[in-house]
A and B are shown apart, each in its own frame.
Chain A
């Protein structure tokens, strides 16, 4: 399944995903595995719960003084010979990066996995400008060859089988290779090694940036983050403003919980701390280092309803535990960021109107908030979003009418009682075995759910009887 077409309603996109038997199996296996690994990691790490609280508080403390920490970060990056750029919009970020590429005379850019560059749709822009973007994370490389988009923040290609990948490599790389993960990985290693050694431009995101030292931090398992920051002549890091942390001591708190939440590892294989361009005395390393600070809807939320979503570390834990994500996978959401946090981030990036359907793609069960390393209260913000969507009158009219009438009725006890009695009569043609199985106008709702019938004696009626019977 390729990237969802946003002209298709969400319900149809989700429906398609649920009919895709392989996707269903892959999702179940992957998310179940990640959940288990995460749980084991935290079970074996008693201090983890306390560190999650610390991490949350650090995020909050940083956001409260974001101006100060960013100024500090900028000052330090510049002191070590790096350049900082400011992008209010995705278009501006793209323009900045293209200009850097053009001045470097770059024809190829090697990229390490970065949601920020996905978010600003950088690859298309690079291609148009004649700079070939090469994704170097194995999963990202696979989906780039297939012209698709990531379906999971941590495992971008979980929707593909090894057979499909072998076919893809055969077609795109003109190499026959058995459908064996080891052989496929070795082939990709060879192909990408050449690219690393040739590319003039290296583009990364940033998991964190340390204000106190001007250090950009990249976390990878494959080592592509190290390649991209060591071999090309120019390194550009693109980072949302909320990724800054005050000091190295803060960084350590996040490192202690990030990988455990994402993959259950104590630490990812490589954590790379980059402090500007190649230093005097160094044999290698980029001559130029650029940091692009990205707003793209984030700054508006510093005092906005989605503020807490700015704590997000992009670990993917909330995706794995989400009953909706587990059923439909990342593509059906239709945007860069999938899963429960993805709905909030999409609203942040594109405005609440962009998630009028997605805001409801959650059962509000709270599993995401439990799993989140920084305890982001995702359900609270989803409810808030639903309210906004509703107030802006972008929810479906029938839903608005029903909820408004229901709310009105609930506030009037006498009428509510009367309505119950009327409904008891009106429901008769629809009730079967004590439940309403289908209802005109509400077919979409009742297709997958039953509505309980109004009881022959409601709780309120019984309560009143009891009151009368019980002697005072």
Chain B
């Protein structure tokens, strides 16, 4: 088997043979990602309505559904409405602390069967298995959002404690809540936040996966016919909450 040293030595040897290559530099990186991220937020404090409108437009173009409500409490009837139209009841969600509030009792009152994910990891394998089956059987997955990218209609979700990956993946209907603080205009701006999240080099509180979600799961593999819901959700609903979700 090739060792790291052998492998890298060969690469260095070949690189040593190159001659006359064009000058080239990688992309410019934010020197101080925190400052740039704050600058983006500050600009968006004024421009957010345009960005939100663009987000709605792009999300709808990729087959997503957009809603706008005033407060977190108003999310409940929207979710209940989505569930009712689809004759769905079983809902799994991020943990209340990650979602920004405990919607469980209100959703139950609307006839749903909500189950919030635990706030952290679960030691018992049997319990993990039970939770996985629960998520796999659920019809609705309710999550928060870390970034909403207007340019592409994309939701960015980081995994982590209380926010399992499968909640936005296994149920056929994904419902995501976001507020102004998540909104960015472009992929380039999202890049600044990605740089920021990784700036300290430490794992931090995040999980190992960041997912960009641009509309419902789709394929055109059979005679180029667009079909939704191959492996991931067949519907994506994004609910914009006017009042900041986290106080």
Q: How far is the CB of A83 from chain B (nearest CB, A)?
A: 11
CA distance A58 to B216 in the complex (A): 31
B220: which A residues are within 8 A, CB to CB?
A: 155, 263
Is A126 located at the chain interface by the 8 A CB criterion? no
Known: A182-B227, A222-B230, A303-B18. A250 touches B26 (CB 8 A): yes
Q: In the bound complex, do residue A181 and residue B223 qualify as a contact, i.e. CB atoms below 8 Å apart?
A: yes
Is B117 located at the chain interface by the 8 A CB criterion? yes
Q: In the bound complex, do residue A142 and residue B227 qualify as a contact, i.e. CB atoms below 8 Å apart?
A: no
CA distance A136 to B231 in the complex (A): 9
B165: which A residues are within 8 A, CB to CB?
A: 226, 230, 282, 284-285
CA distance A363 to B164 in the complex (A): 51
Q: In the bound complex, do residue B28 and residue A249 qualify as a contact, i.e. CB atoms below 8 Å apart?
A: yes
A-B contact count (CB 8 A): 279
Cross-chain contact of A95 among B1, B3, B19, B207 (Cβ < 8 A):
B1
Q: In the bound complex, do residue A137 and residue B26 qualify as a contact, i.e. CB atoms below 8 Å apart?
A: no
Known: A157-B221, A230-B209, A251-B191. A281 touches B120 (CB 8 A): yes
Q: Which residues of chain B in 107-155 are interfacial with respect to chain A, using CB atoms and an 8 Å cutoff?
A: 117-118, 120-122, 128, 131-132, 136, 151-154
Is B85 located at the chain interface by the 8 A CB criterion? no
Known: A138-B222, A189-B230, A303-B18. A249 touches B208 (CB 8 A): no
Q: How far is the CB of B243 from chain A (nearest CB, A)?
A: 28
Q: Which residues of chain A in 213-246 are interfacial with respect to chain B, using CB atoms and an 8 Å cutoff?
A: 213, 215, 221-224, 226-227, 229-231, 241, 245-246
Q: In the bound complex, do residue A57 and residue B25 qualify as a contact, i.e. CB atoms below 8 Å apart?
A: yes
Q: Which residues of chain A in 119-162 are interfacial with respect to chain B, using CB atoms and an 8 Å cutoff?
A: 136-139, 142, 155-158, 160-162
Q: In the bound complex, do residue A212 and residue B198 qualify as a contact, i.e. CB atoms below 8 Å apart?
A: yes
Q: Which residues of chain A in 377-392 are interfacial with respect to chain B, using CB atoms and an 8 Å cutoff?
A: none
Q: How far is the CB of B56 from chain A (nearest CB, A)?
A: 15
Cross-chain contact of A303 among B2, B14, B62, B229 (Cβ < 8 A):
B14
Counting chain A residues whose Cβ lies within 8 A of the other chain, the interface size class is 35 or more
Is A200 located at the chain interface by the 8 A CB criterion? no
Q: Which residues of chain A in 165-189 are interfacial with respect to chain B, using CB atoms and an 8 Å cutoff?
A: 165, 181-182, 184-186, 188-189
B207: which A residues are within 8 A, CB to CB?
A: 278-279, 281-282, 285
Q: In the bound complex, do residue B159 and residue A282 qualify as a contact, i.e. CB atoms below 8 Å apart?
A: yes
CA distance A87 to B3 in the complex (A): 9
A263: which B residues are within 8 A, CB to CB?
A: 220
Is A268 located at the chain interface by the 8 A CB criterion? yes
Is B239 located at the chain interface by the 8 A CB criterion? no
Q: How far is the CB of B155 from chain A (nearest CB, A)?
A: 11
A454: which B residues are within 8 A, CB to CB?
A: none
Q: In the bound complex, do residue B14 and residue A269 qualify as a contact, i.e. CB atoms below 8 Å apart?
A: no
Encoded as 1 (CB less than 8 Å from any B CB) or 0, chain A from 63 to 78 comes to 0111100110010000
Encoded as 1 (CB less than 8 Å from any B CB) or 0, chain A from 295 to 306 comes to 100011011000
CA distance A251 to B197 in the complex (A): 15
Q: How far is the CB of A100 from chain B (nearest CB, A)?
A: 12
CA distance A300 to B18 in the complex (A): 11
Is B161 located at the chain interface by the 8 A CB criterion? yes
A70: which B residues are within 8 A, CB to CB?
A: 8, 11
Q: In the bound complex, do residue A248 and residue B203 qualify as a contact, i.e. CB atoms below 8 Å apart?
A: no
Q: Which residues of chain B in 195-247 are interfacial with respect to chain A, using CB atoms and an 8 Å cutoff?
A: 195, 198, 203, 205-225, 227, 229-233
Known: A67-B15, A226-B169, A256-B187. A60 touches B209 (CB 8 A): no
CB closest chain-B residue, reference A155: B221
Q: Is chain B's binding surface mostly helix, strand, loop or mixed?
A: loop
Q: In the bound complex, do residue A278 and residue B208 qualify as a contact, i.e. CB atoms below 8 Å apart?
A: yes
Cross-chain contact of B160 among A138, A158, A282, A302 (Cβ < 8 A):
A282
Q: In the bound complex, do residue B11 and residue A181 qualify as a contact, i.e. CB atoms below 8 Å apart?
A: no
Cross-chain contact of B2 among A62, A87, A196 (Cβ < 8 A):
A87
Q: How far is the CB of B209 from chain A (nearest CB, A)?
A: 6
Q: In the bound complex, do residue B11 and residue A67 qualify as a contact, i.e. CB atoms below 8 Å apart?
A: yes
CB closest chain-B residue, reference A138: B221
Q: In the bound complex, do residue B191 and residue A249 qualify as a contact, i.e. CB atoms below 8 Å apart?
A: yes
Is A438 located at the chain interface by the 8 A CB criterion? no
Is A431 located at the chain interface by the 8 A CB criterion? no
Encoded as 1 (CB less than 8 Å from any A CB) or 0, chain B from 167 to 211 comes to 001000000000000000001101100110010000101111111
Q: Which residues of chain A in 71-103 are interfacial with respect to chain B, using CB atoms and an 8 Å cutoff?
A: 71, 74, 80, 84, 86-88, 92, 95-96
Q: In the bound complex, do residue B161 and residue A281 qualify as a contact, i.e. CB atoms below 8 Å apart?
A: yes
Q: In the bound complex, do residue A58 and residue B209 qualify as a contact, i.e. CB atoms below 8 Å apart?
A: no
B222: which A residues are within 8 A, CB to CB?
A: 138, 142, 157, 160, 162, 165, 181, 184-185
A95: which B residues are within 8 A, CB to CB?
A: 1
Cross-chain contact of B209 among A142, A157, A229, A299 (Cβ < 8 A):
A229
Q: How far is the CB of A409 from chain B (nearest CB, A)?
A: 34
Q: In the bound complex, do residue A61 and residue B232 qualify as a contact, i.e. CB atoms below 8 Å apart?
A: no
CA distance A272 to B208 in the complex (A): 10
| A–B complex contacts, Cβ < 8 Å, 5 sampled | A139-B221, A213-B198, A249-B27, A278-B208, A303-B18
- List 15 additional A-B contacts (Cβ < 8 Å) besides A139-B219, A269-B62, A282-B164: A84-B4, A86-B4, A137-B221, A182-B227, A215-B198, A222-B231, A223-B231, A226-B209, A230-B209, A241-B11, A247-B27, A266-B151, A270-B213, A271-B212, A285-B208
Interface of B toward A, CB cutoff 8 Å: 1-4, 6-8, 10-12, 14-19, 21-22, 24-30, 58, 62, 117-118, 120-122, 128, 131-132, 136, 151-154, 159-162, 164-166, 169, 187-188, 190-191, 194-195, 198, 203, 205-225, 227, 229-233
